[in-house]
Amino acid sequence: MIKIKFYGAAGTVTGSMHLVRLPDFSFLVDAGYFQGRFSELNNEPLEDLRDVPYLFLTHAHLDHVGRLPVLVRNGFRGTVITHRATWHIARYILEDAFNLMDEEEPLYDFRDLQRTFALPVKFVEYGKEYDINGLKFRVRDAGHVLGSAFYEYEYRGKRFTFSGDLGNRNKPIVRDPEMPNRADVVVVESTYGNRDHRPFQESVEELKEAVFSTLNRGKVLIPSFALEDVK
């Protein structure tokens, strides 16, 4: 029997972290930080997960990797399975989050962060199939950010998929998300599950209108945050 327990991104759209229990062993998918009005949930204690041997990371956004140092602080020493670009970017994301952490109630310390970066890592590639203790899985391009992936698993004839975050189509730099194969169970992101994205060109026109309507009255400041894989 396959059992799945959710430690986030269930009832909310942040803090993605899922525990999959198989008859022979268990594994985690993501270890995300709760953001925004749900941030207090980061302080809730986790059950003992130190014996979980594997953690799959779908991509490097904080709400998918931000609690990894917390797991390490609690004794997790398993192997991280992820795309090479995701692990490179996650280092910068976690270091930045650590520098911004509330000093009065830190979730972890610098040593925990160092131990996190010292974890064993298995890099996987898009399109390839792997086998760990009878668990077969394939890595697919999620088209979200560099290195983002969704995982298609098969165990004893049962197929189940974890989507991570999926990107939009026809965007520059990042490839379109791949189409998934058939599965018996799909755990899928649903941030926009109750509405459609507006057409891209409408968003461009809205931005142009905001900029040009402001320029004759003052300056326009556009904050931005970029992710890239640093070799």
Kindly report, residue by residue over 10-64, the tens digit of the pLDDT. 888 899 999 999 999 999 999 999 998 888 899 888 889 999 999 999 999 999 9
Token pair for 72: 């390490």
In a domain, 209, yes or no: no
Query: Residue 223 falls within a domain, yes or no?
Result: no
Give the structural domain span for 52. 3-187
Which CATH number is 137's domain given? 3.60.15.10
Instruction: Please give the average per-residue pLDDT across 166-187, as a whole number.
Output: 90
Residue 9, judged by CB atoms within 10 A of its CB (0-12, 13-18, 19+), counts as buried
Degrees, nearest 5: CA angle 20-48-46:
85
Question: Looking at the domain assignment, is residue 125 inside a domain?
Answer: yes
Number of domains observed in the structure of the chain: 1
pLDDT of residue 6: 95
Is the residue at 95 inside a domain? Answer: yes
Q: Cα Rg for the chain, rounded, in angstroms?
A: 19
Q: Report if residue 196 sits inside a domain.
A: no
| 217 part of a folded domain | no
136, 154 Cβ separation under 8 angstroms: yes
Q: Which has the closest alpha carbon to 4: 24, 18, 25, 16?
A: 18
Q: Judge whether 26 lies within some domain.
A: yes
- Rounded CA-CA distance 22/146 in Å is 30
User: Mind listing the pLDDT tens digit for each residue in 56-114?
Assistant: 999 999 999 999 999 999 999 999 999 999 999 999 999 999 988 877 678 999 999 99
Q: Is the residue at 166 inside a domain? A: yes
pLDDT band at 148, cuts 50/70/90?
very high
